[in-house]
Amino acid sequence: MLSNFFEIRSAARGLSGSRVAIPMGHDVSSLEALLEASDSGLAGSIIVGSIKEVNKSLSELGRELPDDITVVNCEDPHEAALKAVSLVSSGQAGILMKGLIKSSIFLKAVLDKEVGLRSGGVLSHVAVVHAPRQDRLVAITDGGMNIRPQREEVIQIALNAADIMIKLGADRARIALLAAVEVANEKMPETVLWEQIAKDGIEGVDVAGPVAVDGAMDPVAAAIKKMTGPVAGRANVLVTPDIACGNIFAKGFMYMTNTEVGGLIAGAGAPIVMLSRSDTASTKLNSLALGAVVAGSR
């Protein structure tokens, strides 16, 4: 099992031919991430966007394009999105990354019936984190796609994150359905749903819920609470009740601790990187490395 982002980056560098397709990836922020990926030996790239704008951003950065980054000239964002997605669906690239393009246009191309990356399942955001005090990588989901998922969506969201953890080398996905308490309470609807899902189980994974964060992450806290089972104190997937909890939880790690973070959209036919312009260079590189490893282990 890979245990931190240094190991994820090293694993990504060990994969030959990793390529990222990025529509409208001509802006400075996108190019910085792609150039770092190239410089670090993580992945090459295919930019589908304006050559004129790419050259303008390169001039601002004081850089030239390396040999493993190519540009397909395209001025229209709709066309660029479809072309970038088709590069991934056809196998010419293994990772899709969002450039300076509206999310609605980007995701419409992802779901296109002809060239898209439909898998028939739910798309969900997975933030993989490594906190210094923890000895393992942990996935937090879903803080970016599904507002308040219901039972079947929750199960798919959990399985999407489990798939990523298995591809990072986990022997087993241990899923904690997070809440403020460990008992069902009708005033907290998520706890009732979590109890039902945990009782029924999810095939192929270990699942417990409702579980508070301390009981999910810390064996000592789990023992004090008299929690038993494979998830107690050893969870590697944390499922939050809604998008607000997931987003706040993951960003709290990012901006208030020294935690290393990388994120992907999971559930499609290939890893999808949706970076924010506010993301640090380290988070961008972590996300691209994460995508390369997940794509390479598919």
The answer to which of 72-81, 177-186, 277-286 has the lowest mean pLDDT is 277-286
Q: What is the CATH number of domain 5-118+268-296?
A: 3.40.50.10950
181's tokens: 């308490």
Angstrom distance (rounded) from CA 28 to CA 60: 8
How many CA atoms does the CB half-sphere of 68 hold within 13 Å?
18
Domain boundaries defined on the chain:
5-118+268-296, 124-256
Task: Express each pLDDT in 135-184 by its tens digit.
Answer: 899 999 999 999 999 999 999 999 999 999 999 999 999 999 999 999 99
pLDDT of 276 above 80:
no
Does the model's pTM come out above 0.85?
yes
pLDDT, mean of residues 20-37 = 93
Instruction: Assign domain 124-256 to its CATH superfamily.
Output: Isopropylmalate Dehydrogenase (3.40.718.10)
**59 has a pLDDT exceeding 70:** yes
> Which among 53, 48, 111 has a CA at the least distance from the CA of 76?
48
Q: State the burial class of residue 91 (Cβ atoms within 10 Å of its Cβ: 0-12, 13-18, 19+).
A: exposed
Asked if residue 298 has pLDDT above 60, the reply is: no
Given a contact cutoff of 8 angstroms between Cβ atoms, the answer to whether 179 and 188 are in contact is yes
Residue 116: CB atoms within 10 A of its CB come to 20
Tokens of 237: 């997937």
Give the start-end residues of each E strand in 184-293.
206-211, 237-239, 260-266, 272-273
Per-residue DSSP letter, 139: E
Supply angle C-alpha 162, 231, 3, rounded to 5: 55
Confidence band, pLDDT 50/70/90 cuts, at residue 108: very high
Comparison of pLDDT for 192 and 275, the residue scoring more: 192
DSSP state of 112: -
Hey, which residues does 62 pair with through a beta bridge?
none
- The DSSP symbol for 185 reads B
